[in-house]
Structure 1
Amino acid sequence: MNLLTLLEFILFFGVMLFVHEFGHYLVAKLFKIRVEEFGFGFPPRLVKLFKIGETDFTLNLIPFGAFVRLSGENDPSVPGGFGSANPLARIAVLLGGPVMNLLLGVVLFSVMFTQTGMPDTRKVMIASVAEGSPAAQAGMAVGDLIIRVNQTPVTSMEQLIATVQENKGKEVTITLLRGDQEISVQAVPRVQPPPGEGALGISMTNPITSVSWFETVPVSFRATFEQARMILEMPGRLIRGEVSGEQARVVGPVGIYSMFSQAREMDEENAASTDPFERTLTLRLMTVITIALGLTNLFPIPALDGGRILFILPEVITRRRIPPQYENLVHLIGFVALILLMFYITAQDILNPIQLP
């Protein structure tokens, strides 16, 4: 076990959990719900660091993440506490943690895109040229940017495909950018190309360009949404046999550390690579885990944020609260079940270590 990698993992995992709890804290303060303690790490307490308002900020022994202790969390009789707040405020507080994890995913995607660059969808680059195709006969080469067909500027892959389709069987003039030089070639798109090839006989991609952090934000939100969608679709894909049980397997902290350690090793091995995507595996893994944590906490499972929200929703509609003693009992049972499940998952992580593809 590499000590430095272990310390990096503890820091990453701690930050991920800290951000989650900080989301609960911020929203609770926004709705004027008393927060008795914000703990760095988990108890037992080592020392009280400082106090802001009614909130004690403490340092605790177990160096993973943080926790928030809300006043009257399970007791609606406590004035100014979580339990006595209106249902929409309680739902907002519970959503604060998962939402902060998803926002952290957006930030991590943005950091990654500033390192790797992003595809410029306004430009089309040749990724491969089929032997004997019209493109090969015209002298088109991998890496060329296609900037015009006849006098029509190329603004996307879809637009290029449509333009080529309109000119099947006709000679067209294609203007390429090769390095800093513009060159023009003539080609006749095939009416009936061989199976697996297009009319010109090329495959296309978008060139990667450097971007500022600000430019990455919209794409990062979309990437976070797509990652969340993939996680939600995983059970269905598993049932349909599109992914294996190993690929869809649930992992705990031991399994996450194993993947983190493998990703760090791969990044170190690829440190000299000219492809930035080969040097950011750890960052990509951190992003996926952060989004998964936020999303998992929204599942309607007792003891998780989503499970607690599920108990509040009837109150929003009927104005009648589920008796706290029943809710607390269900969450206690759910918590015990989650602990037992975590022991099982940890045993699987140890006995059958996960391997990154």
Structure 2
Amino acid sequence: MLFTLLAFILVLGVLVLAHEAGHFFTAKAFGVKVNEFGVGYPPRLFAVKRGETEYSVNLLPLGGFVKLSGEEDPEAPDSLASKSHAKRITVLASGAVINALLPLILLTGAFLIPHDVARGAIEVVEVAPDSPAAAAGIVAGDTVISFAGRELDNNAVLGRVIFMNLGEASEMVIRHADGTTSIVTVTPRWEPPADQGAVGLQTTTKDVVIERESVPFFQAIGRGFNESVDLLVLFKNSILSMIAGTAEGGVAGPVGIATIVGDVARAGLSPLLEFTALLSLNLAILNLLPIPALDGGRIAFVVVEWARRGKRIDPQTEGKIHFIGFAFLISLIILVTFNDIMRIVGNG
């Protein structure tokens, strides 16, 4: 439990510091006064003042904040609200932008660090009737060589690549039991029948060999970029699957995420960097949603003001809306955390 907690605090700290640093440096660059840079949420443990800014460490390690002068009040000295619309949007969006770019660094590091890769032959165990795989002529005993042009190390990678290509006609290279090879086309389904999967294949990885791998620097950068793009596709398909009601699993709160972080951290530093990259991308997209209290909600107010040719929404009204949004988010976090705890207790 202590290991899980420390790993979670470390991962969250990296994501929060990167996010808030984006706000901090862009605010400073545009002449906005930064009253406080806080790590964690109050109550405050201690603070140090350097120049005009207080740097605080707080008790609850579930986030962080940058307190800017006059976020809704243009009359405050060196306020955010007194700056141009473009500058305000840049300051508000910079945290999410940093979180969106961070996966490239994290994933490059994940490929550079020596890590274990499981490789083996992906054998088809069962083909569901009336499925895309059955229509393509795939049968039990066949071996999957590639999917949508992607080389496959194991059946877990196959599942991921299939999920990335939902709804898209994709070529599969198949080796049959008699040694012949054929290329077939399948279209993974968004809404497959229960227990069939998108393609209708049940596979296993045979003759698994664990290889220790470290990718050269420039190659690691390229793979890190490609992996970052893959994460975007996976995230997009996950959202669409949730809308369609076919997504597996559920939403995890701080407790659920901490549990996953602990499990991933035990697998090694490279998997932990990969998972942190996924969390960073999720954080970036979530923060840009037009929800009051989030960066995206504040950006929405600036855009509305811009569209109204500078006519501001009453600062008190905006503040109340953000407070209601914040209260809603806290309530949602409490609910999801309760579900996380019940799920953990239910699993013993």
State the TM-score bracket (shorter-chain normalisation).
Answer: 0.5 to 0.7
Counterpart of 1:139 in structure 2 is none
Paired with 1:196 and 1:229, the residues of 2 have a C-alpha distance of: 25
The answer as to whether partners of 2:102 and 2:280 remain within 8 angstroms in 1 is yes
2:298 maps to 308
Select which of 83, 88, 91 maps to 1:90. Answer: 88
- Structure 2 gap ranges (5+): 125-142, 150-172, 184-210
The answer to whether structure 1 residue 261 and structure 2 residue 297 are counterparts is no
Q: 1:36 to 1:208 in 2, by over 3 A?
A: same
Task: Tell me what 1:177 maps to.
Answer: none
Of the three residues 169, 184, 201, the one matched with 2:180 is 201
1:188-228 deviation digits (Å, cap 9, x = unpaired): xxxxxxx9548983589xx9974333433343233223312
Q: Tell me, which stretches of 5 or more residues in structure 1 are unaligned? A: 120-125, 131-141, 143-156, 159-194, 269-278
Question: Compared with structure 1, are the counterparts of its residues 261 and 48 closer, same or farther at alpha carbon in structure 2 (3 Å cutoff)?
Answer: closer
Give the direction of change, closer, same or farther, for the CA distance of 1:329–1:232 in structure 2 (3 Å limit). Answer: farther
Give the conservation status (yes or no) of the 8 Å contact 1:299–1:306. Answer: yes
The 5-angstrom pairing of residues 275-354 of structure 1 reads 280-319=270-309, 320-353=311-344
1:18–1:67: 8 Å Cα contact kept in structure 2?
A: no
Offset of residue 72 of structure 1:
1.1
Matching residue of 2:131: none
The question of 1:219 aligning with 2:223 is answered yes
CA distance in 1, matches of 2:182, 2:22: 45
Please, which of 78, 81, 85 is the counterpart of residue 80 of structure 1?
Answer: 78
Alpha-carbon distance change, 317 to 226 in structure 1, aligned in 2, over 3 angstroms: farther
Larger Rg: 1
Instruction: Indicate conservation of the 8 Å contact 2:291/2:297, yes or no.
Output: yes
Contact preservation (8 Å) 1:37, 1:58? yes
Distance across 2 between alignment mates of 1:239 and 1:291? 19
Identity of aligned residues (%): 37
Distance in 2 between residues matched to 1:241 and 1:252, nearest whole Å: 20
Q: Please list the CA deviations of residues 149-173 of structure 1 after superposition, one character each: whole Å capped at 9, or x if unmatched.
A: xxxxxxxx97xxxxxxxxxxxxxxx
Report how far residue 113 of structure 1 moved.
1.4
**In structure 1, distance between residues paired with 2:344 and 2:112:** 32
1:92 deviation in Å?
0.5
Secondary structure of 2:66's aligned partner: strand
In structure 2, do the counterparts of structure 1 residues 309 and 281 end up closer, same or farther at CA, with 3 Å as the change threshold? same
With over 3 angstroms needed to count, the CA separation of the structure-2 counterparts of 1:47 and 1:196, relative to structure 1, is: closer
Residue 247 of structure 2: which of 239, 243, 246 is its match? 243
Alpha-carbon distance between aligned partners in 1 of 2:44 and 2:246, rounded to the nearest angstrom? 47
Q: Is the 8 A contact 1:258 1:353 kept in 2?
A: no
Residue 74 of structure 2 aligns to a residue whose secondary structure is coil
SS of residue paired to 2:289: coil
Q: Deviations over 1:33-91 (max 9, x none)?
A: 1101112332222333240x311222333334432110112212113111211111111
The answer to whether the Cα contact below 8 Å between 2:174 and 2:182 also exists between their aligned partners in 1 is no
> Does the C-alpha gap of structure 1 residues 72 and 292 become closer, same or farther in structure 2, counting only changes over 3 Å?
same
Partner residue in 2 for 1:101: 99
Q: Please give the alpha-carbon distance, in whole angstroms, between the structure 1 residues aligned to 2:223 and 2:307.
A: 37
State how far apart, in whole Å, the 1-side matches of 2:180 and 2:123 are: 6
Q: Partner amino acid for 2:239?
A: P
Corresponding residue number in structure 2 for 1:273:
none
Superposed, which structure 2 residues align to 1:91-240 within 5 Å? 91-115=89-113, 196-197=174-175, 201-202=180-181, 210-240=214-244
User: Post-superposition shift, 1:352?
Assistant: 1.4
Question: 1:223/1:58 Cα in 2 relative to 1: closer, same or farther (>3 Å)?
Answer: same
The 10-residue stretch of structure 1 (100-109 or 230-239) with the greater mean CA deviation from structure 2: 230-239
Q: CA deviation at 1:96?
A: 1.0
| Map of 2:128 onto structure 1 | none
For 1:298, give the aligned amino acid.
L
Q: Distance in 2 between matches of 1:9 and 1:235?
A: 24
Counterpart of 1:5, as a letter, is T
2:4 and 2:259 in contact (8 A); partners too? no
Equivalent pair of 1:259/1:354 in contact (CA under 8 Å) = no
